[in-house]
Amino acid sequence: MKLAEKLGVPQISTGDLFRHNISAGTELGIEAKKYLDAGDLVPATLTNALVDSRLDDEDAAAGFILDGFPRSVEQAAALEEMLRKRGLKLDAVVEFRVPEDELVQRLKGRGRADDTEDVIRNRFKVYRDETAPLLDHYSAELKTVDAVGSLDEVFARALQALGK
């Protein structure tokens, strides 16, 4: 959120979009909840439609930060089409790198119902299988940021990686 504020663009988080739809009891939210509760990825078609719709909002016209999307090569292809039809291109992809054990502690400390250790460990497996290949896919745009440290330290590293 701090990065989005600094850059003057909205942060579009698929997690937030799903939680909003789940709490609102929308059809998409009910369907997404089944997958999220198990620690699995929500099917690409549901996620893609949600993100595509959000990119139409006026506040995203001058730019945006996507958080949690894309999470697979299939979603990356969908994102490329979303951007193409709007005449946009991807400026950068930022990977915030944190050791797995530290991530487990951070996630368990959030206090969310879906952040049990089993669900978290399953998320890591899904990440390795589905999301890690994006690092190669986006190698030309990739900026890796060491995300161990205080929020201010990580924020400064992210700005530096983005040349801001």
pLDDT band, very low/low/confident/very high, at 150 (cuts 50, 70, 90): very high
Q: Is 41 annotated in some ligand binding site?
A: yes
Q: Give the chain's domains with CATH numbers.
A: 2-161 (3.40.50.300)
Helix, strand, or coil (residue 41): coil
* Mean of per-residue pLDDT scores for the chain: 90
Q: Is 19 annotated in some ligand binding site?
A: yes
Q: Is 14 annotated in some ligand binding site?
A: yes
Q: Is 144 annotated in some ligand binding site?
A: no
Q: Is 136 annotated in some ligand binding site?
A: no
Q: Is 110 annotated in some ligand binding site?
A: yes
Q: Is 163 annotated in some ligand binding site?
A: no
Q: Is 123 annotated in some ligand binding site?
A: yes
Q: Is 112 annotated in some ligand binding site?
A: yes
Instruction: For residues 10-31, give the mean pLDDT.
Output: 90
pLDDT > 70 in the chain, percent? 100
In the block, tokens 């190669």 appear at 136
CA torsion, ordered 58, 63, 67, 68, to nearest 10 deg:
80
Give residue-wise pLDDT tens across range 102-127. 988 888 888 787 778 888 888 889 88
Cα–Cα dist 105/103, whole Å: 5
The CA angle 29-5-75, to the nearest 5 degrees, is: 40
pLDDT band, very low/low/confident/very high, at 64 (cuts 50, 70, 90): very high
pLDDT band, very low/low/confident/very high, at 29 (cuts 50, 70, 90): confident
> What is the pLDDT at residue 13?
94
